[in-house]
Structure formats: C-alpha cells, structure tokens
C-alpha cells in the first residue's frame, strides 16, 4: 500500500530536482548562449582575419624577406623607410587625389540619377536593375572591359576618335590619360553603388515637408537644397564613407589595366603593397605599409561610427 505513495513522493522529488537542474541549465544557457552561438563565426574570423592582421603588425617590425631565414628586429625601421621613400609619398598622395576625384564624380552623377529614379514613372524598376550591373561586375572583368575600350590600336575609344576625325590617343601609356582611364573604370563601378544608397535614402524621406514646401511655392532647386540634401545627410555620410574606404582598396582594376604604370603614374596603395611583398619580397616593409593603410581605414571609419551612434539615438527617441 505504501508503494504507490512512496513512488509518488519520489516522483515529485526527482521531478523537482529535474526542474532545478533544468532551470540552472537554462540560466547557464541564457547567460552564455550568445557566446557559444557566436563562437564558430568569431573563431574563424579571428583565425583568418584578426590573427593575420596582428601577425602583420609583428612582421612590420622585422626585416622580413621571404627568401632569407634571418629576420632581425628593426623596430620602426620599415615605417621610417616607408615615409622616407619618394615612391610611397607619391603613391599615398596619388591615392588620396584619386579618392577625391572619384568620389566627386560618383556623387554628382549618382545623386542626379537617384533624383531622377526617385520620380514615379513607368519602367523605373528596369532602369534600376540595369544601373546595378556595373557595380556587381567582377572588378577584373571591369578592368579588362576598359582596357579593351582604351586599347591604343583597336579600342572603341580610338575607333570613335578616328571616326569623328580626332587623332587616336595612347590612353594607357600617357600618364595623365592612364590616370583618367583608371578613374573612369573605377567610377563606372562606384556610381551604381552610391546611387542605390542615395535612392534608398530618398525613398525613406518623410513626405509632409515636401508637400508643405510645394504648397508654399518652393522651387525644385530650393526643395533640393533646403530639404532633400539636409534630410539625406546621414545617408550621404554613410555612402561617402563606405565608398572612400573602398577607394583605398582598389587593386584589381590597377592590376589588370596598368600594373601601376607608366612608372608609378597609376599606382595606388594596395597594388604598391602587393608589389613590395611579391615582386620585391619585402614582407616587413609591405606589412608596415599595410598597417599604414589599416590606420587610414580606421580614421575613415570614425564618421561612420559617429553617424551610427546618432542614428541609434534618434531611433531610440522615436520609440
């Protein structure tokens, strides 16, 4: 007779025990769940991105040449060599000018296109999709496309020049024309990127201020200058920051079109670093140059984070 009752009590007790164990496990899980969910991702990012980056910092203090086993510590030697060499100064200045020129062209064209694409008209979706194609074209392919168009003998550009009676040009041989060619190939891919961001921003703008402005008789130019651009400022900041960072990462187009030449005329930082490492086998110097570029990236990222924070704050205020 005591059996079932005993069993019942034991059952309850063990059940209770299970509950406490379970809740303890739950508490443990809830506390550490985000960490073990993130672990595989952070593990692989840490091993393949973060560790090499730190390793590069270490190498940047060594006189590291691939063919030689002795790798003496040289302190800031590689950084001093970088900043005292004439070519690095040229390439750095060139990359900055390149970024400024590209971003100005890209923003102007992209803003105009975005304003037009923001209008309601039939077939807008088709235009939009086709506009995106250059951005997603492989940079290698973009490089070859333009190298072919700028080919000095059989290229489309010179065929057009001859057709309209102009003398053909040595596009990729004459320094300034080569620079122009590189800029064209780069903005060709950059314009759609900036455009689609600005268009997304335009479509998210609140409508009432614009309706009120129309009622008040503001001209289209006034609406653009006094309403659209100020309201769009956060999106413009993100678009420009992302794009400028990318303009310090341009490699493929240079590798395909000019190999940095003639001379250093079209050489940009990533290709300069690549050449230091794999042509001159100067891994220490290349790592120092890499870290200078990483530092530039960090500086360029600051406005993006400030923007992100103010965005998050305004989001909080809204809710």
Binders in 149-208 for another protein, by CB under 8 A: 149, 151, 153-154, 156, 158-160, 162-163, 168, 188, 191-193, 196-197, 200-201, 203-204
- 239 near another protein, rule: CB under 8 A: yes
User: Which is nearer to another protein, 2 or 68 (by Cβ)?
Assistant: 68
* Nearest one of 150, 153, 155 to 177, comparing CA atoms: 150
- 119 near another protein, rule: CB under 8 A: yes
User: Are residues 82 and 291 in contact, defined by beta-carbon separation less than 8 angstroms?
Assistant: no
Residue 174 sits at the vertex; the CA angle it makes with 173 and 179, to the nearest 5 degrees, is: 95
Q: Which of residues 80-109 bind another protein (CB under 8 A)?
A: 109
* Nearest one of 78, 44, 48, 47 to 60, comparing CA atoms: 78
Q: Count CA within 13 A, CB hemisphere, residue 251.
A: 7
- 134 near another protein, rule: CB under 8 A: yes
Q: Which of residues 276-305 bind another protein (CB under 8 A)?
A: 277-278, 283, 286-287, 290-291, 293-294, 297-298, 301, 304-305
User: Are residues 92 and 276 in contact, defined by beta-carbon separation less than 8 angstroms?
Assistant: no
- 144 near another protein, rule: CB under 8 A: yes
Among 3, 4, 40, 165, binds another protein (CB under 8 A): 40
- 29 near another protein, rule: CB under 8 A: yes
- 72 near another protein, rule: CB under 8 A: no
Among 61, 79, 210, 251, binds another protein (CB under 8 A): 251
The full DSSP string for 102-169 is HHHHHHHHHHHHHHHHTS--TTHHHHHHHHHHHHHS-HHHHHHHHHHHT-TTT-HHHHHHHHTTPPP-
**Residue 145 CB, nearest approach to another protein (Å):** 4
- 317 near another protein, rule: CB under 8 A: no
**Residue 135 CB, nearest approach to another protein (Å):** 8
- 27 near another protein, rule: CB under 8 A: no
Q: With contacts defined by CB under 8 A, name the span among 2-10, 11-19, 38-46, 83-91 that binds another protein.
A: 38-46
User: Are residues 60 and 294 in contact, defined by beta-carbon separation less than 8 angstroms?
Assistant: no
Among 49, 80, 100, 229, binds another protein (CB under 8 A): 49
Q: Kindly state the DSSP code that residue 120 receives in the 8-state scheme.
A: -
Distances 176 to 99, 105, 169, 264, 269 between C-alpha atoms, Å: 16, 17, 11, 11, 18
User: Are residues 107 and 194 in contact, defined by beta-carbon separation less than 8 angstroms?
Assistant: yes
Among 255, 261, 264, 281, binds another protein (CB under 8 A): 255
Using DSSP, state whether 282 is helix, strand or coil.
strand
User: Which is nearer to another protein, 238 or 265 (by Cβ)?
Assistant: 238
User: Are residues 250 and 268 in contact, defined by beta-carbon separation less than 8 angstroms?
Assistant: yes
Residues near 282 by beta carbon (within 8 Å), at least 6 away in sequence:
64, 65, 276
Among 62, 103, 111, 235, binds another protein (CB under 8 A): 235
**Residue 3 CB, nearest approach to another protein (Å):** 31
């Amino acid at each position: 007779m005591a059996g079932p009752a005993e069993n019942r009590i034991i059952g309850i007790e063990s059940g209770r025990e299970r509950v406490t164990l379970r809740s303890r496990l739950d508490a443990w899980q809830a506390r550490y769940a985000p960490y073990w969910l993130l672990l595989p991702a952070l593990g692989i990012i840490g091993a393949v991105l973060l560790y090499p980056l730190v390793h590069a910092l270490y190498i940047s203090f060594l006189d590291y040449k691939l063919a030689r086993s002795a790798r003496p510590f040289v302190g800031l030697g590689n950084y001093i060599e970088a900043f005292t060499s004439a070519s690095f100064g040229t390439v750095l200045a060139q990359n900055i000018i390149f970024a400024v020129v590209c971003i100005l062209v890209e923003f102007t064209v992209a803003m105009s296109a975005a304003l037009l694409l923001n209008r309601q008209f039939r077939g807008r979706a088709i235009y939009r999709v086709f506009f995106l194609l250059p951005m997603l074209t492989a940079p290698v392919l973009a490089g070859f496309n333009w190298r072919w168009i700028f080919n000095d003998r059989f290229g489309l550009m010179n065929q057009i020049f001859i057709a309209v009676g102009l003398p053909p040009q040595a596009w990729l041989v004459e320094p300034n024309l080569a620079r122009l060619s590189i800029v064209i190939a780069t903005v060709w891919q950059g314009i759609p990127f900036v455009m689609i961001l600005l268009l997304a921003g335009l479509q998210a703008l609140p409508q009432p201020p614009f309706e009120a402005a129309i009622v008040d008789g503001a001209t289209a130019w006034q609406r653009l200058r006094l309403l659209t651009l100020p309201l769009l400022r956060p999106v413009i900041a993100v678009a420009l920051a992302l794009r400028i960072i990318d303009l310090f990462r341009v490699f493929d187009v240079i590798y395909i079109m000019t190999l940095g030449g003639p001379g250093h005329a079209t050489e940009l930082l990533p290709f300069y670093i690549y050449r230091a490492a794999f042509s001159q086998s100067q891994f220490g110097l290349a790592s120092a140059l890499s870290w200078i570029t990483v530092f530039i990236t960090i500086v360029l990222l600051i406005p993006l984070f400030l923007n992100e924070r103010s965005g998050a704050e305004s989001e909080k205020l809204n809710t």
